Structure 1
Amino acid sequence: MGFEYFRNRQHAGRVLAQELAIYAVRPDVIVLALPRGGMPVAYEVAQALQAPLDVLVVRKLGVPGLEEYAMGAIASGGEQVLDAELVRELGIGARAVDEVVSNEQRELERRERTYRGDRPAPDLAGRIVILVDDGLATGATMRVAVRAVRRQEAARVVVAAPVASPEACALLHGEADDVVCAEIPDSFLGVGRWYLDFSQTSDEEVCRLLEEASRPATRSTKKTRSTPSRTRAS
């Protein structure tokens, strides 16, 4: 049977959680969302796995004038990835690159303050970290997220998304310890293509879900059964 579209990010998160059942009810697991779109997905995953939820802010470095086209990414903690070959091919000067990095760094810091406030970042050393986004197109932002978590000495880094391109999965397979995707369509055509509702996630929703996840009563008391992964790159 072919892939039936996700109704919304919440539905996608519940589907993805089934693929991650082997990580359920473990004290060393933490789920990190890539906000904003990854948060509703990650919330459902964290609830199902009975794991704590936090955020890792990542910003794409868009090509000047073609901002949706990534030439790299930055993440919390100072991690940066830049596609030097692409920058050379497009003739993007160092000053232009620096300007993009500076602008995105300011937005990253704004989001950090908005989502975290005075709350300290979680200690990832020795933990299994599940990085969740709502989809993986090029894999550029998730790649820098993986590297940022590696710098914090995580024991295992798991990339998870409801839908991903084959190219993104191949790229991240070389970066993460495990790559779990519910669907990997051959004809990808963008993340939003696979959602019936792909409306924008707000800062307010990110903050609300973080607050809800911090309440012990919101954690599910039912254990997630381990089920075979239907579509998995690992």
Structure 2
Amino acid sequence: MTELPFQDRHDAGERLASHLSGRVTPPAVVLGLPRGGVPVAAEIARRLDLPLDVLVVRKLGVPGHEEFAMGAIASGGVTVVDEDLVTRLGIGPRALDAVIERERAELARREQAYRGDRAYPDLAAATVVLVDDGIATGATMRAAVQALRRLGAGRCIVAVPVAAPDSLTLLRDEADEVVCLAAPERFSSVGQWYRHFDQTSDAEVRQCLADAAAPGTPRG
């Protein structure tokens, strides 16, 4: 396990890259989950000399408690819902559908904002390093892994700086490999494990992608 807290997302990405070095062989691509996962992914891509892209995923928040995930949706028409949680909380189909439709609209907006008309990279037979700044419930990352399967990824490595232990257990059943630097037992939120955890903006995501795509961008 690594020393906590991380200074910021860039520090987390540098440390993750060190752990991934030598474990990822081309063809490979690094995909960040917007928005907070993209600065982490950008550092990994830069240091491992790999292409950077994004995979848009949206959490489905419990009505009235939106920070608490009851599922997630992702590019490619993937929907993951925690049916047991939905039943326990008494969330009816109409309320669930309303959340899904709202998040689909935001997913489409972000797809356009970050990707425009660019097609996804060719993932067939490729290793995909799927990155976020941390994992709480794991619903968002699980949806992302399932989306990658639909997009034809050859191998999926989930790479995160910090995660809740229970969520890691679930993800290991879905991904080919999970690389996590820290899994503290007393986990309440991702942000508690960073000294600086400002919200990542759309502009920062676009800048990370532009910097990675620019000819002559220094790497390593």
Normalising by structure 2, we get a TM-score of: 0.96
> Could you tell me whether the CA contact under 8 Å between 1:213 and 1:219 is conserved in 2?
no
Q: Which residue of 2 aligns with 1:226?
A: none
1:1-234 maps to which residues of 2 (within 5 A)?
A: 3-24=3-24, 26-220=25-219, 222=220
**What secondary structure sits across from 2:22 in the alignment?**
helix
* 1:189 positional shift: 2.2
Partners in 1 of 2:166 and 2:8 — Cα distance? 24
Cα pair 1:115 1:206 within 8 Å, conserved: yes
Paired residues, number: 220
Q: Displacement of 1:219 after TM fit?
A: 4.2
Q: Structure 1 CA distance, aligned partners of 2:62 and 2:4?
A: 33
1:119-159 CA-to-partner distances (Å, cap 9, x unmatched) read: 11212111100100000111110000000001122111000
Measure, in 2, the Cα distance between the counterparts of 1:193 and 1:131.
Answer: 22
How much identity, in percent, do the aligned residues show?
57
Structure 1 CA distance for aligned equivalents of residues 2 and 140 of structure 2? 28
Q: Which runs of 4+ in 1 moved over 4 A?
A: none
Structure 2 Cα separation of the partners of residues 88 and 96 of structure 1:
12
Summarize the Cα distance change of 1:151–1:2 in structure 2 as closer, same or farther, 3 Å threshold.
closer
Counterpart CA distance in 1 for 2:47 and 2:59 is 29
When normalised by structure 1's length, the TM-score is 0.91
Q: Which is worse superposed, 86-95 or 28-37?
A: 86-95
Contact 1:23 1:29 in 2 (8 A): no
Q: CA deviation at 1:93?
A: 0.9
| Structure 1 unpaired stretches of 5+ | 223-234
Say which SS state the counterpart of residue 22 (structure 1) adopts: coil
Query: C-alpha offsets along residues 95-115 of structure 1, whole Å, 9 cap, x if unaligned?
Result: 111100000000000000000
The Cα of 1:22 is off from its aligned counterpart by 2.1
Deviation at 1:3, TM superposition (A): 2.6
Segments of 5+ residues of structure 2 without an aligned counterpart are none
Aligned-pair Cα RMSD in Å: 1.3
